[in-house]
């Protein structure tokens, strides 16, 4: 389960009556994109395509793109858009994306979004990419992130404000100590929000200007947010 989640949820059974096509989940850090991606994957039997996973896989396999990315990362440099784009392009030629997929962490910048719009039709005959923006108030995001605690053994996720363990600092399931990530602090959150505003907000505006964008309330219960996302996808696919 993604670290965006404060509570673990059981997914719905796969639905073969609707094909969501390519989906981009947008939103600030902590809105629950990872949780909703997991639920969509289970509901529709489509893969989540994570740039982080793709990057790690290329590095592990020692591909040319992986070697380039690792060299940059070892020097403390950011992996440039073109390298990330090439990795995504290779992944989107896979056999498991016919019914659709969920993009995770891409496009993160306006340049990546523009590249994807231009190249997506080339990969295969698929519907247009649609974007769903999950909106959550910034104060609520801060509570979600700074209150997050994870079991050191079973990885069950709690939140000391909204979903606390029965005994502070101890997992309800196996009694193991809970961990507080070093980047789940107010200072780290402020830095992540700055990066989000400068890099990702333009991506949201890019898709908002098209007819391929909907926003949903991310402060509702998780299952209700999932229902809103599915309803938005079905509406978008009728356009």
The whole model's pTM is what? 0.79
Query: Is 3 a residue of the active site?
Result: no
Residue numbers of the chain with a pLDDT score lower than 70:
1-16, 121-126, 239
- Binding-site entries: 30-35, 51, 56, 77-79, 105-108, 112, 148, 151, 154, 157-158, 171, 174, 181, 192, 220
- Asked about 214 being catalytic, the answer comes back as no
Task: Give residue 149's pLDDT.
Answer: 94
Q: Does 33 qualify as catalytic in the annotation?
A: yes
Q: Phi/psi at 170 (nearest 5 deg)?
A: -125, 135
Residue of 33, 91, 149, 212 with catalytic role: 33
Q: Which of 61, 67, 167, 181 is catalytic?
A: 181
Question: Containing H/E element for 101?
Answer: strand 100-104
Name the active-site residue from 192, 208, 214, 237.
Answer: 192
With the C-alpha atoms ordered 69, 52, 123, 202, is the resulting torsion angle positive or negative?
A: negative
Q: What is the dihedral of CA 234, 199, 33, 229, to 10 degrees?
A: -20
Identify whether 149 is a catalytic site residue. no
Q: Which domains does the chain have, with CATH numbers?
A: 21-136+199-237 (3.40.50.300)
CA dihedral for 135, 137, 140, 142, sign (positive or negative): positive
Catalytic, 148? Answer: yes
Binding residues for Zn(2+): 151, 154, 171, 174
Structure-block tokens of residue 194: 């700055």
- For residue 12, the model assigns a pLDDT of 46
pLDDT tens across 160-219, in order? 998 999 999 999 999 999 999 888 899 989 988 998 888 888 999 999 998 899 999 999
- Residue ranges at the known binding site for ATP: 30-35, 148, 157-158, 220
* pLDDT score recorded for residue 136: 95
């Amino acid at each position: 389960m993604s670290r965006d989640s404060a509570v673990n949820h059981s997914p719905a059974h796969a639905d073969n009556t609707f094909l969501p096509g390519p989906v981009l989940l947008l939103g600030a850090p902590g809105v629950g994109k990872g949780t909703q991606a997991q639920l969509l994957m289970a509901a529709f039997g489509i893969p989540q395509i994570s740039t982080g996973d793709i990057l790690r896989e290329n590095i592990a396999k020692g591909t040319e793109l992986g070697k380039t990315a690792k060299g940059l990362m070892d020097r403390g440099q950011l992996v440039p858009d073109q390298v990330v784009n090439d990795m995504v392009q290779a992944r989107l030629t896979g056999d498991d994306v016919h019914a659709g997929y969920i993009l995770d962490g891409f496009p993160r910048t306006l340049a990546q979004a523009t590249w994807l719009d231009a190249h997506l039709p080339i990969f295969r005959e698929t519907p247009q990419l649609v974007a769903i923006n999950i909106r959550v108030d910034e104060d609520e995001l801060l509570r979600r992130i700074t209150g997050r605690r994870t079991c050191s053994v079973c990885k069950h996720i709690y939140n000391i404000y909204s979903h606390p363990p029965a005994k502070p600092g101890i997992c309800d399931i196996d009694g193991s100590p809970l961990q507080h990530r070093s980047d789940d602090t107010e200072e780290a959150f402020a830095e992540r929000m700055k990066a989000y505003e400068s890099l990702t907000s333009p991506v949201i505006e890019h898709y908002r200007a098209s007819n391929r964008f909907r926003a949903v309330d991310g402060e509702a219960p998780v299952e209700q947010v999932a229902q809103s996302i599915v309803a938005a996808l079905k509406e978008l696919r009728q356009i």
